[in-house]
Amino acid sequence: MTHTAPDTGSWQDLDRRHFLHPFTDHRDLAGRGTRVIERAEGPYIFDTDGKRILDAMAGLWCVNVGYGRRELIDAAAEQLARLPYYNSFFQCTHPRAIELAHKLARVAPPGFERVFFTNSGSEANDTVLRMVRRYWDLRGQPYRKTIISRVNAFHGSTVAGASLGGMAPMHAQGDLPIPGIVHIAQPYWYAEGGDLSPEAFGIERARALERKILELGPHNVGAFIAEPIQGAGGVIVPPDSYWPEISRICKEYGCLLVVDEVICGFGRLGSWFGSQHYGLEPDLMPIAKGLSSGYLPIGGVLVGDRVADVLVAEGGEFHHGFTYSGHPVSCAVAAANLDIIEREGLVERVASDTGPYLQARWRELAEHPLVGETRGVGFVAALELVRDKARRTPFDPPGRLGVIARDIAVCEGLVMRAVRDTMIIAPPLMLERGHIDELMDKAHRVLDLTAREAAAFT
C-alpha cells in the first residue's frame, strides 16, 4: 500500500473544519489559512512547503535546548517501554519522579527542597492559589486569602491562572477574576513611565503594592505573584529599582512572594531561575516550559521551606493533585533535559557569552527609525515599533503594524512574535553566535520591510 502525506492545502482544510486552536479567532483564521509546521531540527522549524524558519521564540518560550535532541527522544522511548504510566497517589511513587524532584532541589536556590508536579504552568498556578490559602489557614490566619497580581501579567489560562493573570480580554470572557485576586499596575516604563526616570518609576510602581496592601489590610493579603520579566505581556523588563522595593514590601508585611518562573526559569535570563537574576527570595516558584524544553508537558511548583515545612508538618492531606502529577515519561524527559542544560553549560553560556552577544546586537536595532526602545536580558528581548521615536508616539491603530512585522518575519524565515506593536524574541538557549548573526540579519531586514508598510499608515 502506498501512503502519500496530505499536501498543505489538505491539512489546512481539515484543520479549518475540526481543530479549535487556542487564543484564536476562528473565523479570521479560516480566511487566512494556517502554516503547517511539520518537523524541526536545532533552532529551525520546517513547514509542509519545505520552508526553513529560525525559531526565535523557542516554540512558545519553551524549547530551551533546541529541537531534535536524541537524549530526550531516547529517555522518552525507554521510559515508555519500562513504565509508561503510574500514579503517585496511594503510597506509590516511581524512580523518574523521585530523580527529577531530587535534581530540581539541586539546581534550585537554597531553601527549595520540595516540588509539587503538575502538567502545565496554568496548573502550577492553580496549585499556588490553593497552597497559599492552605498555608495561611494552617498558620491560623485564615483571612490572608487575597493574592495581589499585576495588570498585563500572564499566569495561565485555567480559571485560577487567568484570574491571577492581568489580561483584560481574558477577564472579560468568563467573569474573571474570581474573588480574592486583585491587580496593581505594572512596571512598564516605556509605555507608562511618562516623565519619570526609569528608577523613579520603578519605585513608584513597586509602592503600588504597598498601597494596595495597606488598602486591603496587611492581615488580609496572602501573597504577591509576579513574573521576574513579564513575558506574554510584551517582555516588560522592570527598572532596576523595582524588585528590591517589592522584596522589601513583601518582607515588611509578611506576605508570601510567588515568583512565576514558567518563562524565566531554566536559563533564560542567564541564571537557573529569574529570581536569582534579581536577587529575590521567593516562597513559591511555579515552573513549566523550559523544565522539559517543551518535549512533553510538565510543570510544577517549587515549594520553599517556609511553606513546605508547615504543609508537611501540620497540613495533613492536601486535597489536590492530577492524574498525571509526576508523569514518568515527562519526568524522564525533564531530567534528561536538565542534564543537557548542565552538561552543555547553557546557563553559563547565556550568562557570559551568547546572552551578552545577543543583547549587544539586539541593541543595534535601536538605531532603526521605527524602533523606540530595545530591551532584554539574557535570551529574551523586545523592541517597540513607534511612529515618533522622540515622543514615544505609538502607531494607530495599535497592534496592526506588529502583525504586519510578524508576518514579514515569517516570510523572511524568522519567528519573531508581536505583542501589540512590541516585537519579542525568546530563542532556544543553544543558539551559537552564527545563529544570532542570522537572527539579526533577518531582524534588520524585517524592520526595513516593515518601515515601507508603515509609510502607508497616517
Of 174-182, 190-198, 227-235, 240-248, which segment contacts ligand PXG by CB under 6 A? 227-235
Quick one: cell of 301? 511548583
Residue 319's contacts (CB-CB under 8 Å, 6 or more residues apart) are none
State which of residues 53, 131, 232, 259 lies at the interface with ligand PXG (CB under 6 A).
232
Query: Of the two residues 327 and 368, which places its CB atom closer to ligand PXG in the complex?
Result: 327
Our finding on whether 329 is near ligand PXG (CB under 6 A) is: no
Q: How far is the CB of 264 from ligand PXG (least distance, A)?
A: 8
Interface with ligand PXG by CB under 6 A: which range of 115-123, 131-139, 318-326, 396-404? 115-123
Residue 236 phi, psi (nearest 5): -90, 105
Examine residue 186 and tell whether it contacts ligand PXG (CB under 6 A). no
80-84 long-range contacts, Cβ below 8 Å, gap at least 24?
A: 80/329, 83/328, 84/328, 84/329
Q: Name the pairing type of β-strands 284-287 and 299-304.
A: antiparallel
Q: Does residue 260 bind ligand PXG (CB under 6 A)?
A: yes
How many residues touch ligand PXG under the rule CB under 6 A: the total is: 17
Stretch that binds ligand PXG, among 256-264, 322-330, 341-349, 377-385 (CB under 6 A): 256-264
- Cα angle at 260 between 372 and 57, to 5 degrees? 50
Sole binder of ligand PXG in the list 63, 132, 257, 263 (CB under 6 A): 263
Q: Does 122 sit near ligand PXG (CB under 6 A)?
A: yes
Residues 296-315 that bind ligand PXG (CB under 6 A): 299
C-alpha pair distances (Å), 231 with each of 67, 209, 268, 423: 21, 20, 11, 12
Does 138 participate in binding ligand PXG (rule CB under 6 A)? Answer: no
Task: Select 263 or 334, whichever has its Cβ closest to ligand PXG.
Answer: 263
Nearer to ligand PXG, 156 or 187 (CB): 156
Q: How many CB atoms neighbour CB 423 within 10 A?
A: 30
Provide, rounded to whole angstroms, the least separation between the CB of residue 149 and ligand PXG.
11
Q: Which of 121, 222, 238, 326 binds ligand PXG (CB under 6 A)?
A: 121
* Residue 60 touches ligand PXG, criterion: CB under 6 A: yes
Q: Is 288 in the site for ligand PXG (CB under 6 A)?
A: yes
55 binds ligand PXG (CB under 6 A): no
- Least separation in angstroms between residue 338's CB and ligand PXG is 18
Backbone φ and ψ for 371, nearest 5 degrees, come out as -100, 120
Cell of 145: 486569602
Largest Cα–Cα separation, the chain = 72
How far, CA to CA in Å, does 367 sit from each of 53, 438, 443, 444? 25, 18, 13, 10
Q: Interface with ligand PXG includes 258 (CB under 6 A)?
A: no
Of the chain, the end-to-end C-alpha distance in Å amounts to 59
Binding mask 149-168 for ligand PXG (x = CB under 6 A): -----xxx----x-------
- Select 209 or 262, whichever has its Cβ closest to ligand PXG: 262
Least distance in Å: CB of 160 to ligand PXG? 11
Report angle CA 71, 75, 77 to the nearest 5 degrees. Answer: 115
Based on the shown chain and the rule CB under 6 A, indicate whether residue 227 belongs to the binding site for ligand PXG. Answer: yes
Residue 55 or 260: the one with the smaller Cβ distance to ligand PXG is: 260
Please work out, in degrees rounded to the nearest 5, the angle formed at the alpha carbon of residue 284 by the alpha carbons of 88 and 60. 80
Is residue 33 classed exposed, middle or buried when 0-12, 13-18 and 19+ CB atoms within 10 A define those classes?
Answer: middle
Q: State how far the alpha carbon of 140 is from the alpha carbons of 133, 137, 146, 219, 320, in Å.
A: 11, 5, 15, 11, 20
Asked if residue 174 lies in contact with residue 163, where contact means CB atoms within 8 angstroms, the answer is: no
List 12, 48, 88, 120, residue binding ligand PXG (CB under 6 A):
120
Residue 374 vs 422, nearer CB to ligand PXG: 422
Contact residues toward ligand PXG (CB under 6 A) are 60, 120-122, 125, 154-156, 161, 227, 231-232, 260, 262-263, 288, 299
